[in-house]
Amino acid sequence: MLKDRVALITGAATGIGESIARLFAQQGAQVHLLDRDVEGCRAVAASITTAGGTAFASGGDVRLAADINPWVESAIARSGRVDILVNNAGIYPRQEFLGMTEAQWDEMQQINVKSMFHTLQAVLPHMQAAGSGKVVNISSVTFHLGMGLMSHYIASKGAVIGLTRSLAREMGPHNIYMNCITPGAIKTESEAKFVTDEQAEVMMASQSLHRRIMPLDVARVCLFLSSTLSDGMTGQVLNVDGGWVMY
Which positions are catalytic?
Answer: 153
Closest CA to 7 of 38, 66, 48: 48
Distance from chain centroid for Cα 232? 21
CB-CB contact of 174 with 128 (8 Å): yes
Closest CA to 149 of 93, 91, 205, 199: 93
CB-CB contact of 15 with 97 (8 Å): no
CB-CB contact of 132 with 123 (8 Å): no
The secondary element (H helix, E strand) that includes residue 31 is strand 30-35
Closest CA to 114 of 150, 75, 163, 148: 163
Report DSSP letters for 61-95, one per residue: -TT-HHHHHHHHHHHHHHHS---EEEE--------
